[in-house]
Structure 1
Amino acid sequence: MSDEINEKGAAQVKEGKTAPKDWNLQDVLPKNPEPWYKQRHLLLLNLAMVVPALSSTTNGYDGSMLNGLQSMNQWQDYFGHPTGTRLGSLGNGTIFGQILALPIVPWLCDHTGRRFPIFLGSALLVIGAILQAAAQNYGMFLASRMIIGFGGLIAVEPSPLLISELAYPTHRAVITAYYNNLWYLGAILAAWVTYGTYFMGPSNSWSWRIPSLLQGFMPLLQVLFVYLLPESPRYLILKGRHDEARKVLVKHHAGGDESSPLVEFEMKEITLQIEESQNSSGTGYGEFLKTKGNRHRLFLIIVVPAMMQISGNGLISYYLHLILDSIGYTSAPAQLRINGGLMVYSFGISVILASFVEIAGRRRLFLISTVGMMCSFIIWTILSAINEQRAFKDTSLGAGVITMIFIFNLFYNMGLNGPPWLYVCEILPTHLRAKGVNIMQLSATCVLIFNGYANPVAMEAISWKYYIVYCCVLAVEIVLVYFFFPETKGRSLEEVAFIFDGDKAFGENHSTEAIATKEIEA
């Protein structure tokens, strides 16, 4: 983009021209040759994003910790070797708590902002972790996990909202995609903590109490530091607090430059989109059924989280020890090492792959991911079947299954780890974003309940044959992505509305011209 065009775009914004046809983000971006990490305000802003992202880290810690505990003889002996629905209840303990939190979270996000729910949920998580570590019986352990689930959901829902609504415009896509990748950071910590504490002694309950207590560490950091972040400028504008929103944008996006064209551009674009959305619709859940665009959004925010949980990854996340048992890897230290190695591997590739969301696009990543998962799952199923027929005597077949698990995780992380939270947050308008994310969580919760009870029972009953179900599910997912997932890359958080709302995105008089302008610029 030439300097002449940049100066013209900046002048148009300063003159107060508010028609979308006159706007172009590239025209008003500061012409600073220094990379973002050498600009103090952007470096501090991006580092601050770690605080809300720790909600994802806590989730990852929980899944990996429960995997590790199930491989511990100390934990198994203490709680009477739970199996079937009894084991499923522990896996679903956090889900029960999340169900109780579902009606509360969107109200908190819409009426108190994005930061307070993170603070409240994290405080409850700390309490739950303490009770979990102090559990004296099965019932107390289950109750503590319900508290963890309740607080966890309250902290999780506003976290990606704050990231996507506060991030610098050109960093938003990648940073939001990184959010769910930090799930693996928590998983790595839990995997190797449980591996280390396993060797504390065959009857030492601290071998599982220490990992349980450490689950409260990341939430404690959020309690201490979340109020060092500013409130979401989009939430502030939604509440009519324009001056506060402008101060946030000036400080964190413009480095203190009060006359920044970028700030003027963002203020006008966000305000116009929110006002138009509020004029054309309300803010209740019923709005998702009133227009074709909102019905499409509703379909996606139900399907995307379901895909995140029902693509076979639930087996690895919570019941890896059952998979390893089924292929003859029954040694607790061996299982713990495999779990720890898988988490380190997944974290590395997920961070790398999330960096390509703007280059490859969301839809393409979803497609490659689902096709790759289905192919690796088919091979995984075949190798497991042959391995069982040969009474687990052929170690190469077991190694082949483990290889397929790693390859499956590669494709899962490509499309169903980082991109989903980014995709859901950007397809929702600001005034419906909190409720939309709540619907996303409800969809995920329903699938997690299924996973929690069906997976351990089915794995014990039919072993590898259960994998065929997931092969079929993945085939359906490929079809859904191909026909119903639109591409959203290259647009601001507000401009994505054009894909779903067409001429009504910014009002009847502007949107057609805006779309034409975007096409010419592309």
Structure 2
Amino acid sequence: MNLSDTKEDFAVDSHQEHADGPPTLDDVIPHHSRPWYYTRSLLWLNFLLLVPILSSSATGFDSSMLNGLQSQTQWAEYFDHPSGYRLGHLSCGPTYGTILGVFPGGYIADRWGRKRGILVGALIAAAASAIQAASQSYGMFLAARVLIGVGSSIAIISSPSLLSELSYPTHRAAMTTAYNIMWYGGATLAAWVTYGTYWMGDSNQWSWRIPSVLQGFFPLCQLALVHWLPESPRFLIFHDRIDEARRILVAFHADGDEHSPLVDYELSEIIQTLELEKENKKLGFGVLFASENRRRAFIAVMMPFMQQMSGNGLVSYYLSLVLTSIGISSASEQLMINGCLCIYNWVIAIALINTVTKFGRRTLLLLSTSLMLLTFVLWTVLSALNEERQYQDKALARGVLAVIFLYYFAYNIGLLGLPYLYLTEVLPYYIRSQGLSLGQFTGACTGIYNAYINSIAMSAISWRYYTVYCAIIFFEFLTVFFMFPETKGATLEESSVAFELNLRSGSVHEGLDLEDLEDLENLKGLARKS
């Protein structure tokens, strides 16, 4: 069935004029008296959406695992105590792989589908985990980590897109936010596995091989479930497979109801939006930098920059160095703190999921960056006092540790789950994969900085290096305030138009309210005529 041949059929059914204007999502969505998990189709859909979410868990496992291994004497002795650039290479191995996987990942997602991207990425990551566990040398371990990065990159480009494009409309914000929150699911598992295997003895190689084997757990789960995962309806409709898209929406969004007004509404929105993009837009990576998309490209670069360059890289990969700098050098104590920090972050992140549906994206980002700046200043001051007193004041060391936990609370408010939700909203379908690829590339570049510069700077100037991050976080706050439009209150199809609406009005502060819908429809109409 061809896209242009069917747009009128669905538009007539789902966009009949009401006395008070065109219908909204709230007009057509069923309002059940029981919670969503009593609806079988929604329960099954949200279970299957764990498949893309596990891409984030796999990345979290990798980061936390290497953090734990650095505190294990068994691993350090087997690989001849890697430090400096050799340790930097191991930290950067997945980052190198991410760079290699960015453009193939975007191509696979657009050419063969989001589901296929997850499948290919999981296959590569699972195979690489086996190679890592069997490593006999530093070079073999490094090569396996690069391959893990390639697989993760391909899967990550497809995963948030599929989440946002397949989720039930009222679940989309929470589900897309949950994607990166599950990073801590993987990180927590890795932290406690490395803590447990630490006690296996100094000569037991399985103390580091077991975590390496378990790194393949999340990709293997994805491979086991991906067969039942539906493809993105947006991808199917864009490729003129409308009947398939309708069957998926009926089965998973309407619980099998062929005459569901919600399905007609969703199909109409998607078909009209994608037809407009097909008619008026050229496809390809270069269009991301066209004049109308430069603000979007800037945001696609800034969001991963903020995720990586807000000081969290100091703890994510070099917690042992940070703890040593405040006088906590015991390997078992460092591993225990790493595990507790992961559990704390995971619990806080889960508790914050629903904030994205209650507050604006800008509000959360501004709150997050301002609180991070405050805690980082406190972190810097307490670390300076700790050094001045030659690390003898245990109260100061505990104070620094407490501030690290407070810092992560601030970080989790805006920079953990929210970025992927915001990016999928500001990037329309035709550049969504390219924008996420650009974000992955930016994240990889900043990851290289974190892996090399952080360790060198921490060793050379200790707490004084924190002042650099104080300045960066202040810059991030200003960037969000002046450059990030609000998108709250719109469906996935409406959000990119709402982005344009805010820019044309000269305001980045307001979201999309019901009274804006007439302006939204007018803007869509102008775009169709242009």
Give the TM-score normalised by the residue count of structure 2. Answer: 0.92
2:440 is aligned with 1:441: yes
Change (3 A) 1:56 1:512: closer
Write out per-residue CA displacement over residues 79-113 of structure 1, whole angstroms, 9 at most, x where no aligned residue. Answer: 11111111111000011111111221111001110
Q: Could you tell me how far apart the structure 2 residues matched to 1:16 and 1:471 are? A: 50
Deviation at 1:223, TM superposition (A): 0.8
Change (3 A) 1:12 1:282: closer
The one-letter code sitting in structure 1 at the alignment partner of 2:450 is N
Letter in 2 for 1:49: L
Structure 2 SS opposite 1:200: coil
| Other-structure match for 1:513 | 518
Give 1:517 shift.
9.1
Matched, 1:287 2:287: yes
Does 1:265 pair with 2:270?
no
SS in 2 for 1:164: helix
- Same amino acid, percent of matched pairs: 48
Q: Which moved more, 1:192-201 or 1:36-45?
A: 36-45
Structure-1 separation of matches of 2:308 and 2:495: 25
Matches within 5 A, 1:124-203: 124-203=124-203
Aligned to 1:335: 334
Partners of 1:31 and 1:97 in 2: how far apart?
45
Aligned twin of 1:376? 375
Aligned residue number for residue 225 of structure 1: 225
Question: Does 2:350 align with 1:345?
Answer: no
Paired positions, count: 502
- In 2, the alpha carbon distance for the partners of 1:412 and 1:396 equals 24
Matches within 5 A, 1:48-67: 48-67=48-67
Quickly say closer, same or farther: Cα 1:71–1:504, change in 2 above 3 A: closer
8 A contact 1:13–1:264 mirrored in 2: no
Distance 1:188 1:82, change over 3 A: same
Deviation of residue 320 (structure 1)? 0.4
- Could you tell me how far 1:21 is from its partner in structure 2? 5.7
Taking a change above 3 Å as real, the CA distance of residues 296 and 498 of structure 1, as seen in their structure-2 partners, is same
Contact 1:96 1:146 in 2 (8 A): yes
Q: In structure 2, how many angstroms separate the alpha carbons of the residues matched to 1:291 and 1:21?
A: 33
Matched residue of 2:146: which SS? helix
Q: 1:308: which partner in 2?
A: 307
2:276 aligns with: 276
- Spell out, residue by residue over 1:445-472, the C-alpha distance to the aligned partner (whole angstroms, 9 max, x if none): 1111111110111111111111110000
Q: Which amino acid aligns with 1:71?
A: S
User: Relative to structure 1, is the Cα distance of residues 81 and 504 closer, same or farther in structure 2, using a 3 angstrom cutoff?
Assistant: closer
Paired position in structure 1 for 2:400: 401
Q: How does 1:361-372 map to 2 (within 5 A)?
A: 361-372=360-371
Residues 12 and 22, structure 1, Cα contact 8 Å, conserved in 2: no
| CA–CA distance in structure 2, aligned partners of residues 388 and 252 of structure 1 | 58
Q: Please, which moves more after superposition, 477-486 or 22-31?
A: 22-31
Q: Distance in 2 between matches of 1:504 and 1:348?
A: 36
Contact 2:53 2:179 in 1 (8 A): yes
Matched letter for residue 346 of structure 1: N
Gaps of 5+ in 2: 1-9, 505-515, 524-530
What amino acid is aligned across from residue 515 of structure 1 in structure 2?
Answer: L
- The Cα offsets for residues 322-369 of structure 1, whole Å up to 9 and x where unpaired, read as 000111100000000000000000000011112110101211110000
> What CA distance in whole angstroms lies between the structure 2 residues aligned with 1:62 and 1:17?
51
Contact 1:13 1:261 in 2 (8 A): no
C-alpha distance in 2 between matches for 1:314 and 1:18: 52
How far is 1:237 from its partner?
0.5
RMSD: 2.0
Q: In the aligned structure 1, how far is the partner of 2:401 from the partner of 2:449? A: 24
Once the two structures are overlaid, the 10-residue window that deviates more, 361-370 or 17-26, is 17-26
Residue 99 (1) aligns with residue 89 (2): no
TM-score w.r.t. the length of structure 1 is 0.93
Cα deviation for residue 184 of structure 1 reads: 0.3
Change (3 A) 1:241 1:32: same
Q: CA deviation at 1:156?
A: 1.2
What residue identity is the alignment partner of 2:147?
I
The CA distance in 1 between the partners of 2:139 and 2:379, in whole Å, is: 36
The verdict on how the C-alpha distance between 1:15 and 1:432 changes in structure 2, with shifts beyond 3 A counting, is: closer
Query: What are the residue-to-residue correspondences of 1:112-127 with 2, within 5 Å?
Result: 112-127=112-127
Moved more, 441-450 or 277-286: 277-286
Q: Distance in 2 between matches of 1:385 and 1:492?
A: 48
The 4+ residue runs of structure 1 with deviation greater than 6 A are none
Note closer, same or farther for the CA distance 1:517–1:283 as it changes in structure 2 (3 Å cut).
closer
Tell me the equivalent position of 2:508. none
Q: Secondary structure at the match of 2:103?
A: coil
Q: CA deviation at 1:157?
A: 1.1
